[in-house]
Structure 1
Amino acid sequence: LPPLVDSAQTGAAEALYGIGATLTRRGGEDLALVYLQLALYLAPNHPLALLSLADLYESVKKPAMAIKVYERMPVNSPLRRNAQIQLAINLDAADRSDEAIKILKTVTTEDPKDLEAIMALGNVERGRKKFADCAQTYSQGIDVLPPNNDKSNAVYYYYRGICEERSKQWSKAEADMRKALELQPEQPHVLNYLGYSWIDQGINLDEGMKMIKRAVDQRPDDGYIVDSLGWAYYRIGNYEDAVKNLERAIDLKPEDPTINDHLGDAYWRIGRTQEAKFQWAHARDLKPEAEDLPKIEAKIENGLPDDTSSAASADKKKEDGKGG
């Protein structure tokens, strides 16, 4: 066997890397940074030190620094593939998603069965609202999943279902959500998404409400799931319970524009019109989605139209094919 080190310099680099990696695992990021940088000063292409340093920068939310380190990984290193995937994730975090997608497509072309790279690519595309693309990417992953119906496979169907729902392919989305629940029953995020989508379309109201309540039972401190329950009550015309749950959701996620918008709507329906306008103004200031901004501004100016019936509103949503 060849020696682990071939000189005093590489030996020192190995020792410094070991100390830095240990400190990282124990939460001593500042000191770990010093040791890992010293290791790389002595051995600039040390693959494990590069990976550890980049991972450290990721953990302290410095994607630009992580990118620079991942880019230094030698082309012939066995860790190159791992570094490329993480490089892409950090490029996306730094709003360089086109570069991230290009790298991940290269990795998945080289190995079409690389599920880690496929998942990373789908997640980048989904985060950038490329819903048709991410549905196709998750399909690539589903095609190469091991045929064991393991519960870990559920996430591929769940994420593909989100992309299908957002690209207005509801029948496919519903089938994928059901498949995800078949593989992982009672998964709270899937229960929440499917239940919310049904209620928002005015279909399967009882089952949808039960699903969301089961999700809240498992995740009582998840502001988005609590918001779904509040909005579900709103959609069926139970405005008092809507306000109760939406106020709780605001406590959990005060800076979310959608939840503030929802609470404004609920306040308006129970006659708290000044508070409604305050919530809508807050939602406007929290940088909502571009398509939501004019709707919020119109509500600030004019309020909501008369509530002729929540069922009619749900029917319109159903016709539009929109879900949660």
Structure 2
Amino acid sequence: MKSGFSLVAIGFALAGQVSASDKMAAPRVIYASASQELGVYPSPYANYLVGRFAMAQGDVSTAAKAMGAASLGDPTDSDLREKAFLISALGGDIDRASKLASGMKPTSDTAELMVNLLGAVTSAKADRPSQALKSIDAVLAFKKNDRNAVLLRPYILAMNGKWSAALDDSGDAALQGNDRDRLLVYLVKADRARLNEIKGKYDAADALYKSLYQPGAASFVFGPDYASFLERRGRKDEAKTVWSAIASQSGDITAAQALKRLDAADYKPPVLPSLKESMAQALFVSSTVSFSEHDSEFALASLHLSLYLDNSSDRERIFLGQIQQELKDTPAAEAAWASIAPESPFYNEATLRRVWAMREDEQLGQALALIDQAFSRDPDNLSLLIEKTGILHAQDKDADAQALLDARIKRVGDKDFGWQAWYMQAIVYDGLGRWSDAETAIKKAQAVNGKQPEILNFLGYGYINRGENIQGGMDLIRQALNVNPKSGAIVDSLGWGYYKLGEYEQALSFIEQAVQMEPSDPEINEHLGDVYKAMGRDIEAGYEWKRVLTLKTTERQAVEVRRKLDANAADRKIAAKASNGTQALNEEPKRHP
């Protein structure tokens, strides 16, 4: 971890739950079952063991409940109390964490920081600004330039009526010690722009917003705040220019919604966020930065504090699920995404993320049912179309997938197809045995994004597998490997090229590497069996093909592998007979006593 503040310090593999304390997911059956087994009044140690087990399962909600019960049962155990506090904070149960923090004397740096940070947030929410300021200053005294504390302090100063200090920029230079802190300076300026607007200092706010906003690929970072400010100032044309730039560069749903709002007959500008809502947004931004730094635990803790202050953001719930999925807490991620209503502009994204998780668990039927729900509401949505097509292909229903694509193209055309849509079209054509059409589609994808490794791999493997242009296909595969050298599928494709050239030793080297990289991929394992067979290693070939049948294969692939196994068994019988016949020519007959 890059950050010194890591909740892993409590000694567990930590994960998250759905939301802030007022939106907690129902505890899993682990705790209910254990409580029933342990009796009505389980001992603190029994609850502690339940908490340990729940953490090992990635179930923070249950762990927080059990650890909290253990701590209440034995309030003299300071170590247990600290663990329960950290788990509760990480799990989003801020109310329980606050109770545990009361009177607690932290023994670790992690707990010391978290107690004061949580104290600042809970005090701000409870309209106790002086206590919030005392707590946030304690964080900064303990850890200079702590990102959360630096971002929150100006808002807390404003809550205390200390506007001159809140708007003071004299401390910015001291923050620029390294690249990480230089980013923090920009975030501080964005907060100062918001504070100036709240205070009514519109010229100062305008200057700061304008200095932060830069048209281009990163416009979505500071652009939305600037565009919203322009709308509130009645400068709709300028706001539309900024929103259009954001939409064209990032495809951000918020920008798309803003453009619709600007053109609506009943147009109303976005409401200026309050100090508390602005604090929640600052914590959200901090959480995204921590996540980009691969500090998922701190990202989750910051996000839960944000949701505690303002639980209305579906964008934050999307991100909550992302973090929980990263931490291998799939049920919590599913609950976070499922909590987003169909009326939300983030509903389709939430649906797609739920579907991706289901596909990862091979729940194709459930994934298809879920995507159909969203698709029925938005039948022309390209992302939903691509995902449904992919599920149908995975179910060996390429004819249905092609019909879906054809209907969409007939209805609204294909002008909005990006490389992903053309790539999926190529996959479906290939599944139907229509290589000429697949080649046309993949070349359209290549025209959109010629360096995409999936495109290069598909086209190169297609040439190799058909023996049309093996060397040219291998050149495409090598280009794909330069972009993504860790892809087992691409390494396998290069090995398959050597197989088609009859260079079996080279083929074996690459395909064995590919199996190590993607051990559960049925096609790569099938290829390894093919190489073994070509090298005369029939027993190993049979082993690999049998292994393929234990993996998630399509029915078409399973039929082909069974055919290979039958042929291999027949070959071995013939070889055995030949071996027995040869024995009489070069061995003396055995003498019987």
1:315 match: none
Q: Say yes or no: does 1:302 pair with 2:570.
A: yes
Q: Return the match for 2:385 from 118, 131, 148.
A: 118
Give 1:61 shift: 4.1
Q: Name the CA distance, whole Å, in 2 between partners of 1:287 and 1:111.
A: 31
The structure number with the bigger radius of gyration is 2
TM-score between the two structures when normalised by the length of structure 1: 0.71
Q: Say yes or no: does 1:85 pair with 2:385.
A: no
Q: Say yes or no: does 1:166 pair with 2:431.
A: yes
Q: Say yes or no: does 1:253 pair with 2:253.
A: no
RMSD of aligned alpha carbons = 3.7
Q: Say yes or no: does 1:215 pair with 2:468.
A: no
Change (3 A) 1:134 1:209: farther
Contact 1:138 1:156 in 2 (8 A): no
Q: Within 5 Å, which residues of 2 pair with 1:186-201?
A: 188-201=453-466
Contact 1:162 1:173 in 2 (8 A): yes
> Aligned with 2:339: secondary structure?
coil
Q: Return the match for 1:101 from 368, 372, 375.
A: 368
Q: Name the CA distance, whole Å, in 2 between partners of 1:138 and 1:62.
A: 34
Change (3 A) 1:71 1:270: closer
1:146 match: 415
Change (3 A) 1:100 1:51: same
Contact 2:460 2:477 in 1 (8 A): no
Give 1:265 shift: 2.9
Contact 1:20 1:32 in 2 (8 A): yes
Give 1:160 shift: 0.9
Contact 1:284 1:297 in 2 (8 A): no
Contact 2:497 2:507 in 1 (8 A): no
- Length, aligned pairs only: 294
Question: Unaligned regions of 5+ residues in structure 1, if any?
Answer: 307-324
Contact 1:187 1:215 in 2 (8 A): no
Change (3 A) 1:84 1:178: closer
Change (3 A) 1:210 1:146: same
Q: Within 5 Å, which residues of 2 pair with 1:222-261?
A: 222-235=487-500, 238-239=501-502, 241-254=503-516, 255=519, 256-261=521-526
How many percent of aligned residue pairs carry the same amino acid?
23
Q: Name the CA distance, whole Å, in 2 between partners of 1:157 and 1:173.
A: 9
Q: Deviations over 1:111-161 (max 9, x none)?
A: 4443233223323333343322333444436954437xxxx8333222212
AA aligned to 1:291 is V
Q: Name the CA distance, whole Å, in 1 between partners of 2:533 and 2:572.
A: 7
Q: Name the CA distance, whole Å, in 1 between partners of 2:355 and 2:379.
A: 17
Q: Say yes or no: does 1:64 pair with 2:331.
A: yes
2:267 match: none
Q: Deviations over 1:145-194 (max 9, x none)?
A: 437xxxx8333222212112212334432432344345555755445434
Q: Return the match for 2:440 from 169, 175, 179.
A: 175
AA aligned to 1:156 is A
Change (3 A) 1:136 1:18: same
2:588 match: none
Give 1:213 shift: 3.1
Change (3 A) 1:209 1:305: farther
Contact 2:461 2:477 in 1 (8 A): no
Contact 1:54 1:67 in 2 (8 A): yes
Q: Name the CA distance, whole Å, in 1 between partners of 2:572 and 2:524.
A: 17
2:586 match: none
TM-score between the two structures when normalised by the length of structure 2: 0.42
